[in-house]
Structure 1
Amino acid sequence: MRALRRWWDDTAGGLPATFWYLWSGLLINRAGAFALLFLSLYLTAARGASESLAGVVVGAYGAGGAVGTLLGGVLADRWGRRSTLLAAHLGAAALMAELAFSRHLAVIAVLAALVGVTHSMPSPAFVAAIVDVVPEERRSRAFNLQFWAFNLGMAVASLLAGMLAEASFVALFLVDAAATLAAAAVIALKVPETLARPARMAVEGSSRSGRPGRARPPGLHTALTDRTFLAFVGLTFLLAVLTMQTSTIMPLAMRADGLRPSAYGLVVALGGALIVAGQLFVPRLIEPYRKSSVLAVSTGLMALGFGTLVVADDLPVYLGAAVIWTIGQMLAAPPNAQINADLAPPHLRARYQSVFYLTFPAASFVAPALGGLSLQHLGERHWLVVGVLGVVAAVGHLLAGPHRERRVAALRAAQREAEPVRG
């Protein structure tokens, strides 16, 4: 019993109640976000769309997601985290209900794009709110639990989606809308506004231009011109490209090896099961080490896992490789999120989050577009290219780590100096 209590304290102890309500809202949101998993099937089976047209509509959802990510970051810093989360969830619920009863493909395409906007808006606000309320020394635990909740919710969503899609597509969309409303209710009833709206720090503006008082007012452009932050975003983009291989290129490679779709499902399910079962043990494992070192090891493991597929011809090799790259993903999640939070000035947290989250829709486009060409022309050697990308990312984290740490220390010092002004 003492061992269990000690493990709980190391894993989730000391986190504020607001975090747990945010965590619950995220879990409900992800567990209920299953309708879009079957959007292409719905369009072709129930609405008579061609496969190419279905692809365009699903692409509209992705394009909306990119817009929603930036919009959510700006609004979360201007309106507040709570207001942005509520607006996004209520908007998504209304759009999903409308999508359930829409018949015209043009209307469905517009609604899909708008759903993409509202589905992506909460991400920067969720993370910014977590950073607002969780003390710095406990953020690694908080982000680890966030990643775990996200994957647990997606696993639940995948199971529920299959059952509901067989029963009724209308029910699929309506239950999704109801789950989104449930998440909104948790946020409305239990989550206070966490944005403190601190005064603009003169030191932040002068540190960029060297001319206090003449600096451009901070905004989204600040994140887009922050070289240290953008270098980290670029390395995260490489990690995202590696991760996207499992849902874009790996199914094609497995089919070329004569494996059935059920084999692909088993590989994906193994990764999800490992994350759900083992992610909560990660913070204690990585706590003694520098974040840049952990990220270098994690991306190195992903490089090794995907590089192993160059010799994969049967299911056991794919399963073994999946274990390796999933461990890499598990190790990367907490420090990746924490570095992202540490590099953001407090009054621009959500904007920085929105730029960071753009890496994922970008990777979801680049990975299949270039990966398909690579697989077609290089065959199994494609996985050597993927492995090299992982090694590049690992080396990049080792090289960039010291400068990132100095930047974070400078930001913390500036915040401490500004505290009397804010008070």
Structure 2
Amino acid sequence: MSAVEEQSTGIWETIREAPAPVKALLVGVFVNKLGWFLQVFLVLFLTTSKGFSPVQAGTALGVYGAGSVIGLIIGGSLTDRVGPRAAVMISMFGMAGFVLAIAYVPSYAAIIVVIALAGAVGQFYRPASAALLTELTPQNRQVMTFAIYRLAMNLGTTAAPLIGAALVAVSWNLLFIGEALAALAYAAVAIVALPGRKKATPAEDGTPAAPEPKGSYLAVLRDHKYVLFLLCMFINAAIYMQYLAVLPLHMKADGFSTWWYGAMVALNGFIVITCELLVTKVVQHKPARQVAVLGFVLLGGGLAFYALPGGLAIFVIGTLLWTLAEIIGGPTMFAYPGMAAPKPLLGRYVGGAHAMFGLGSALGPFLGVFVWNSVGAQVWLWCGVLGAVGLVLAYFGMAPARTEEATELAPIAEVAEGGQA
């Protein structure tokens, strides 16, 4: 049995024994998410501070979302070309500049351009961060590491609106300064603590180092199994987002107050934050395909459950079911691209998965509300059908994890160089 296989994969062991750059990355992402204000407050800023119409503000938010999807794709390619550390630095320095510019550019057209750039550049870090976690973490600990990564993001994202509201009460400018500072903090972490890209070195016998293999997103698309996985990521996000789009409309139509809808969202957030690591400890060594299939069963089933009559109990049970799907399947689904990717295309595999999830998150609410307006509560049955489609795609698209030398993608000893470029 190898040293990697003997390593414990418990929560605290994974955190305690993680390489220093992994710990630094988790802290950096958490701090960055604490300043995640722009998307939350953009509409309010444009309508109350800048005086633009709700349509103009909504358009700007849509542009930000579109820019984010494009940024995820570019970020994957950038990660493969310049390395994760450099991609994080480019993303965070660029984001800081563009966010500050939003508060000062004079015209709506200029704001739209800057918002699009902020949305794109601000997402470069996500494929880079995920690729770096994959490279620095033994394969048997990757699912748990991604669960911890998700927890750091969720904690930061949960606190950000409260911090943002406090800043807005003083000045809108403070909001943008705060987000810029959070981005710069992550950039500083990248400079100081994240490892640079390793250069190819000649072999001991003097043989010249082999040139780094090159590829593109076309190479990703030629991996037909992985394309099926990308489609299931899109479906996963599109139906998952209905808890933000259709659920409040349904509960309002059934006579429940906004408070009860807020309670459903809070129930989901509480369970994810408190239980995901514990559930991951149980499922992390199961085959990724099995975990994803179970996740789709619970996600599609939980959303379809909303179509039943029964009042508040139906909403509570349905929410519990799809929340269970999130905490069971989420870490594995986001760790899988790193398991499936050939090393030269790691950034693109990860970027493609994040981009498809982002695209589903952007289009899902629009499509869900459209179907709700057409067929009412039967929209949940369509979510169940799409969950079944996602299940099939996951089953045929997720191959067993790629195994490399002793499953060690980056031995801890090799990470000790820290920030050396």
Q: State the match for 2:249 in structure 1.
A: 252
Task: Please give the per-residue CA displacement for 1:31-65, whole angstroms capped at 9, x wherever unaligned.
Answer: 11123211011111111211111111111111211
Other-structure match for 1:227: 224
Judged with a 3 Å threshold, the aligned counterparts in structure 2 of structure 1 residues 359 and 397 are, in CA distance, closer, same or farther, namely same
- Aligned residue number for residue 74 of structure 1: 77
Native 8 Å contact 1:259 1:314 kept in 2 = no
Which of 342, 358, 364 is the equivalent residue of 1:345? Answer: 342
- What aligned pairs does 1:295-374 form with structure 2 within 5 A after superposition? 295-311=292-308, 314-374=311-371
1:277 aligns with one of 274, 278, 299: 274
Secondary structure at the aligned position of 1:408 is classed as coil
Q: Does 1:160 align with 2:152?
A: no
Q: CA deviation at 1:11?
A: 5.0
**Distance apart, 1:179 and its partner CA:** 1.2
CA RMSD of aligned residues (A): 2.4
CA distance in 1, matches of 2:370, 2:379: 9
In the alignment, the residues of structure 1 paired with residue 57 and residue 64 of structure 2 have an alpha-carbon distance, to the nearest angstrom, of 11
Alignment check: 8 A CA contact 2:300 2:388 kept: yes
Higher helix share: 1
* 2:35 aligned residue: 32
Distance 1:276 1:312 in 2: 30
**Structure 1 partner of 2:109:** 106
Matched, 1:171 2:163: no
In the other structure, the counterpart of 1:139 is 142
Match of 2:47 in 1: 44
What corresponds to 1:287 in structure 2? 284
In 1, distance between residues paired with 2:116 and 2:296? 33
1:83 aligns with 2:86: yes
* Residue 8 of structure 1: how far off its partner (Å): 4.2
**What is the TM-score normalised by the length of structure 1?**
0.86
Are the counterparts in 2 of residues 224 and 355 from structure 1 also a CA contact under 8 Å? no
Letter paired with 1:317: I
Q: CA deviation at 1:302?
A: 1.1
Q: Which amino acid aligns with 1:369?
A: F
TM-score under structure 2 length normalisation: 0.86
CA distance in 2, matches of 1:191, 1:20: 10
| C-alpha deviation, 1:197, in angstroms | 5.4
Mean CA deviation greater in 54-63 or 280-289: 280-289
Q: 2:98 aligned to 92, 95, 98, which one?
A: 95
Instruction: Say which structure, 1 or 2, has more relative contact order (CA 8 Å, 6+ apart).
Output: 2
> Does structure 2 conserve the Cα–Cα contact (< 8 Å) formed by 1:35 and 1:161?
no
Answer yes or no: is the 8 Å Cα contact 1:27–1:153 preserved in 2. yes
> Kindly, what percent of the aligned residue pairs are identical?
28
1:354 and 1:156 map into 2 onto residues whose CA distance is: 26
Q: How many residues align?
A: 390
Amino acid at match of 1:102: V
Could you tell me whether the CA contact under 8 Å between 1:68 and 1:117 is conserved in 2? yes
Query: Residues 236 and 357 of structure 2 are in contact (CA less than 8 Å); yes or no, is this contact kept in structure 1?
Result: no
Structure-2 separation of matches of 1:164 and 1:270: 27
Say if 1:257 and 1:313, in contact at 8 Å, map to a contact too: no
Q: Give the equivalent residue in structure 2 for 1:419.
A: none
Report how far residue 9 of structure 1 moved: 3.9
Offset of 1:23 from its aligned partner?
0.7
Cα pair distance change 1:388/1:128, threshold 3 Å: same
Q: Secondary structure at the match of 2:169?
A: helix
- SS of 1:120's equivalent in the other structure is coil
The answer for unaligned runs of 5 or more in structure 1 is 200-215, 417-423
Counterpart Cα distance in 1 of 2:184 and 2:128: 17
How far apart, in 2, do the equivalents of 1:313 and 1:161 lie?
Answer: 38
Q: Which runs of 5+ in 2 are unaligned?
A: 1-7, 202-212, 409-421
